[in-house]
Amino acid sequence: MAIRKVRTVGDDVLRKKCKEVVEITNRELTLIEDMVDTMYEENGVGLAAPQVGILKRIFVIDIGDENGVMVFINPEILETSGTQCGEEGCLSVPGMAGQVTRPNYVKVKALDEDMNEVEYEGEGLLARAFCHEIDHLDGHMYTELVEGELHQVSYDEDEE
Ligand code: NI
């Protein structure tokens, strides 16, 4: 288990386009394992490789549903429908959140760790997470899409 440092806004690596993965070696497998560990450590629902400084088209998601942890390599959006507007945040923009409109349904094609093609369908939060993480692989952040103000979030439940 290894926790990697999460890059935050202002770091150039978050603005770069990631490269397709052509081969899964121990290097990629270790990266994926570390990304999962890092996502859990930081209480995130998703993490993309550039967020740990690696420009490869890989992300992981676990929104706490029956899917558990999902690994996406070279993901591609196949289909979207509907819209949803809701709060979004990112481990690379700590303590902040903002309203973002996303499709309510998203179908994604990707490769798994054995380079087998897999397809996932998501609605609501999962659809949102697919879009958010794929954007990271193209150097985009949700902050570009925020409607209104980016605002601070408080994790202190005793505050109110
Ligand atoms: Ni993010």
- The tens digit of pLDDT for each residue in 5-51 reads 999 999 999 999 999 999 999 999 999 999 999 999 999 999 999 99
How many residues are given for the chain? Answer: 160
- The tens digit of pLDDT for each residue in 59-80 reads 999 999 999 999 999 999 999 9
Q: How many A from CA of 51 to the centre of ligand 1?
A: 8
Annotated catalytic residue: which of 28, 113, 133, 160? Answer: 133
Instruction: Please check whether residue 74 is in contact with residue 57, taking contact to mean a CB–CB distance below 8 angstroms.
Output: yes
- The tens digit of pLDDT for each residue in 107-138 reads 999 999 999 999 999 999 999 999 999 999 99
Q: How many A from CA of 50 to the centre of ligand 1?
A: 10
Q: How many A from CA of 143 to the centre of ligand 1?
A: 10
Amino acid 154: pLDDT: 76
Instruction: Please check whether residue 42 is in contact with residue 6, taking contact to mean a CB–CB distance below 8 angstroms.
Output: yes
Mean pLDDT value of segment 128-149: 97
Q: How many A from CA of 136 to the centre of ligand 1?
A: 7
Is the pLDDT at 57 greater than 90, yes or no?
yes
Active site (annotated) includes residue 88: no
Question: Minimal CA–CA distance to 18: which of 52, 54, 46, 51?
Answer: 54
Listing DSSP states for 81-144 in one string gives ES-EEEEE--TTSTTEEEEEEE-SEEEEEEE-TTS-EEEEEEETHHHHHHHHHHHHHTT--GGG
Residue 157 — very low, low, confident or very high, per pLDDT cuts 50/70/90? low
Q: Which amino acid does the sequence have at 107? A: K
